[in-house]
Structure 1
Amino acid sequence: MMRFSPVPRLAALGATLLLASCANFKGIESSAQPQSPAGLAASASLPAQGGAWPALDWAAQIGGAPLQALVDEAMAGNPGLQIAASRIAAARASVEASGANRLPTVGAGFSSTYQRYTETGLIPPPLAGEYKADTQLALNFNYEFDFWGRHEAELQAALSQGRAAEAEQYSARLMLTSSIARAWLQLARQNAQLELTRQQLTARERLGRLTELRFKAGLDTESESEQTRQQLEGLRAEIVQWQEGMALTRNQIAALLGKGPDRGLSIMPAAMPTDAAIALPDALPLSLVGRRPDIVASRWRVEAAQGEIDSARAQFYPNINLSAFAGFSTLSLDRLLESGSRIVGIGPAIRLPVFEGGRLRAQLKGRVAGYDNAVATYNQTLTDALREVADQVQSLRAAEAQGGHQRAATQAATNALRLARQREKAGTTNMLPVLASELALVVQRKVELENQARRADLRVGLIKALGGGFDADAAGIAPAAVQDTSRHPLTKSAS
């Protein structure tokens, strides 16, 4: 008759008792689900077309070398980016610490205590009542078996936090680049408006001199003369206002560069970008929204929170450590290194979380709540990003339509000035209609400039809303949820 050894049965029984004695985390779970850009785009009934926009060098495409030089200077000296870099360094240190928990630890120790042993305790003669030096020199080894994946989960959480910090640095770079581009465009707008206001003032001064002559000749009343003076002073005040605005914008750019106000004095305004450089692209892939650095960072925060949940769950299971030591121990210091003083030992240590007073359950509940918060933050960030893109597209489309009408108005003012000059040369009218047409043309050019500046600012806003050409795959920090994003674009024809 075949006999079975009781050892496997005892081992199985022991394992069952160990698991049965563990604390219970039943009922503690999350129902939060991260959304996807593809799903939100589909719910908005957005058409799907191809396209790849914007490029990483979008600043140079809008402002050329001068704007790109400012961006490069800011990347080297802005304090905000230095803060982001320090967060990455801290996250990497956390990854190293979490990775070290998976490795065995070896340490060396030496201790020597000179003491008198009690005569009324457990120490028997001849040691009782004697003074001896209890000396030990040993190597200590400790290793925790990660059967339940706690240390692995801690490492994955730390890695996710590190990748989130890297994505946040890219987000800070995008914020800085877009802020500099907008301030640079603002300086160009203010400078162009200043020049147009000066042209307007010149034309108004010519009209004022003509009005004064007509007043002296009795052809105009004093009222027309005072109205002209009022308009002249108003234009001079407007010139001062534009000059003030340029000074403040230079200060703003200098601060973004991480420099003092004196740096702003050397920043020369450039011309506004061409219409082609700020036009709405034909195709805007919504996959770029999923690649936005702030969304990538939020997604990694979700992954980190999941790792923290896994780590908290693993603490409900037994903790098994293996400890060992080897060295020398003696009560006589001069005999420490003798062969008879050698010591060696090895053995396991098992911790069973049987009754923790609800501590482990409360800790897991906190991790689940943190995960729910991370998912809600990610979903909100994604929703806000899609709304921001849709708003920028709608406003840019409207601004382009307004620009077309305004260009037609400017062309009509140009034609009116040309006809007034022809009539003045033919002698059928005087200079008043010519000067009035010149002023009307300058006014239309100022309105057109405002439209052009708004379209340029909206273009930068749209680039920022789409992630500024950031590619998490190329940066090596793309979570799976971002890598699997489908491509649904916003287009000019989108409703």
Structure 2
Amino acid sequence: MFAAGCVCAAVLLSGCVDVSMRAYERPATPEKNHWTPSDAISVSAADTISPDWWKAFGDPTLDALIQKAIAGNFDIQSLAARIRVASAEVTEAHAGALPTADLGAGVNYQKITNMGQGFTKQYNVAGQVNWDIDVWGAVEKSVEAQQAEFHATEADWRAGYLLLVSNVSTTYFQVLQLDDQIAQQQTTLDTNRQIAAILERMNETGLVPKTQVLQQRAEVNRLTTDLLEFKRSRDLANNALATLTGTPAGEFQLPAGHLQQRVQLPPVPAGLPAQMLARRPDIVAAEFRVLEAYKLTHSAKLAQLPTISLTGHGGSSSFALNTLLKSFTYGLMPSIDIPLLDPTVRAHVKTTEAQADVAEHDYQRTVMTAFQDVENALVNIDADRKQRAEIDQQVAQLKVVADQVEAQLKEGVVSQLEVFEAERSLLSAQQQRLANHAQSLSDTVLLYQALGGGWPSVDVQAHADSDFQPETSN
């Protein structure tokens, strides 16, 4: 009867507290209907980017480095450990709705001094079961909030995975680009040293002034300095690649290679669907944290309602150990706790509502940043393509000039100095083409990263009321 009365009283008091919550909705963001530059022909998200998108570069060495990084990178391992932490916290939150039980035993020694008696011993054993009944579902909402955090942590791992693959790819491209730059710079340096030698001989015969010789020597010094800088940058990039793959810097050395020969530039599909951003892990994580804040706000509101507890206790005591278990006492004590004058409860509601606003704004900011990332990558790829066409024409024209000057040298029409000048111009244009190829590769990686890198789309709305099932594949 008392328990029934507690429930009735709790129901009556709950009518004085506003615990209503609107249905969960994804925070509003500006619509994105298409990307620029766009094409009339559209493709599906699944056909645009596969999960192992980096294989489109056609380089087995890159594939091996990425697999090594996935297995050995400590950042990605830390993110995976956070998933396990979040999974355990779901179980911990769920335990808040379960009964607790305690069992204790002891002996009490007592002496009364003015009665001349010795010590008396009293043995006792007692147990207690306590259950805070989740009548209104406050604990359940906390569990659902932790479930959302679990899924957000999974998305964080996917974002870290995508960032790792992107960093390994761009760093690998940088190392190969520096290998080509070192080779081209060495060729340019050799050419300029030959020019300096020619000018010195011409100076000896009075054909050119000493200042022209000194000027060419200074150019050789500049090119040598640049070559040393390229080698330094190559070593640093190699160390960065080692760290990304989980190898101590200095213990890994990537063999020299040629970027343009080894890595092919994959085509970028036209007509990218705007809905592809549903695959982007950081957006998924941000929305799950909006859902988490929504559940925590609901839990905080429900905490304003009365709580009901049931406590059962039982035990036995005796002055003799052999008679301890011959008699027992037990009882049941239901109770109700009404938070009438607890300002921290209502203050916590305001706190969770403000945190929900922060989570919504973070989600909107993440979406807007994603729009910019994709647009920037597309703009850069389009510019790279147009610049590559111009550079290819420049290289082709300078190649014709260099061949003609070389032919004229054999006929004695021009000097060796003019041949070297033509070769130097051609090498400079070839370096621009190399830089354009490397930039195109990096921009393509950034596009894959901006579009979510092949992860499947996630409907957070569908998880708003779903049961928690931890994924152990990570």
Residues 297-325 of structure 1: CA distance to partner in whole angstroms, max 9, x if unpaired? 11111111112112111212221222323
| Runs of at least 5 residues in structure 2 that lack an aligned partner in the other structure | 465-474
Paired residues, number: 456
TM-score in terms of structure 1 length: 0.82
Aligned residue for 1:267? Answer: 254
- Whether the 8 Å contact between 1:424 and 1:430 is mirrored in structure 2 is yes
Partner of 2:393: 408
Asked whether 1:303 is paired with 2:291, we answer yes
Q: Is the 8 A contact 1:140 1:326 kept in 2?
A: yes
- Structure 2 equivalent of residue 493 of structure 1: none
Provide the rounded CA distance (Å) in 1 between the counterparts of 2:226 and 2:443: 25
Q: Which residue of 2 aligns with 1:349?
A: 335
Secondary structure of the 1:267 match is coil
C-alpha separation in 2, matches of 1:317 and 1:134: 43
Matching residue's letter, 2:461: A
Give the match's secondary structure for 2:247. Answer: coil
Query: In 2, are the aligned partners of 1:396 and 1:458 still within 8 Å (CA)?
Result: yes
Matched, 1:89 2:84: yes
Question: Does the CA-based 8 Å contact 2:43-2:273 persist in structure 1?
Answer: yes
1:154 pairs with 107, 123, 142, which one? 142
User: Which of residues 66, 69, 73 is equivalent to 2:68?
Assistant: 73
Q: Distance in 2 between matches of 1:43 and 1:170?
A: 25
Partner of 1:462, secondary structure, is: helix
The residue that corresponds to 2:10 in the other structure is 18
Q: Distance in 2 between matches of 1:481 and 1:394?
A: 34
Residue 309 (structure 2) pairs with residue 314 (structure 1): no
1:424 aligns with 2:409: yes
Cα 1:134/1:45, change in 2 over 3 Å: farther
Q: Structure 1 residue aligned with 2:313, among 325, 329, 344?
A: 325
Instruction: Give the Å deviation of 1:404.
Output: 1.0
**TM alignment of 1:358-397, pairs within 5 A:** 358-397=343-382
Letter in 1 for 2:33: A
Q: In the TM superposition, what is the alpha-carbon distance from 1:16 to its structure 2 partner?
A: 5.9
Q: Of the candidates 173, 176, 182, which is equivalent to residue 188 of structure 1? A: 176
Q: Is the 8 A contact 2:110 2:120 kept in 1?
A: yes
Q: CA deviation at 1:383?
A: 0.9
- Letter matched to residue 152 of structure 2: A
Aligned residue type for 1:479: V
The one-letter code of the counterpart of 2:192 is R
Specify the code of the residue in structure 2 equivalent to 1:85. Answer: A
Q: 2:460 aligns with which of 454, 458, 479?
A: 479
Letter in 2 for 1:175: L
Query: Quick one: distance in 2 between partners of 1:337 and 1:429?
Result: 118
Structure 2 contact 37–378 (Cα < 8 Å) conserved = no
Task: Say if 1:406 and 1:444, in contact at 8 Å, map to a contact too.
Answer: yes
TM-aligned CA distance change 1:482 to 1:467, over 3 Å: farther
Q: Secondary structure at the match of 1:337?
A: helix
Which amino acid in the other structure matches residue 267 of structure 1?
A: L
Q: Deviations over 1:101-157 (max 9, x none)?
A: 2333333322433446999xxxxxxxxx99765543344333332221112111111
2:429 paired with 1:444: yes
1:369 deviates by 1.0
SS of match in other structure, 1:108: strand
Where does residue 243 of structure 1 map in the other structure? 231
Change (3 A) 1:298 1:370: same
The answer to whether the Cα contact below 8 Å between 2:148 and 2:289 also exists between their aligned partners in 1 is yes
**Separation (CA, whole Å) in 2 of partners of 1:118 and 1:385:** 82
1:50 counterpart SS class: coil
Does the residue aligned with 1:21 lie in a helix, a strand or coil? helix
Q: What secondary structure does 2:313 align onto?
A: strand
Q: Report if the CA contact (8 A) 1:22-1:352 is conserved.
A: no
Superposition deviation, residue 359 in structure 1? 1.9
Q: Which residue of 2 aligns with 1:336?
A: 324
Determine whether 1:163 maps to 2:154: no
Alpha-carbon distance in 1 for matches of 2:174, 2:347: 53
Q: What amino acid maps onto 1:42 in structure 2?
A: N
**Alpha carbons of 1:26 and 1:344: their partners in 2 closer, same or farther (altered >3 Å)?**
closer
Which residue of structure 2 lines up, in the alignment, with residue 291 of structure 1?
279
8 Å CA contact retained: 2:36, 2:379: no
Question: What is the distance in 2 between the residues matched to 1:198 and 1:30?
Answer: 68
Q: Out of 408, 417, 433, which is 2:418 matched to?
A: 433
Q: Check if 1:226 corresponds to 2:214.
A: yes
Amino acid at match of 2:82: R
Listed as ranges, the gaps of 5+ residues in structure 1 are 1-6, 120-128, 484-495
Distance change (3 Å), C-alpha of 1:327 and 1:40: same
Quick check: 2:174–2:438 contact (8 Å CA) kept in 1?
A: yes
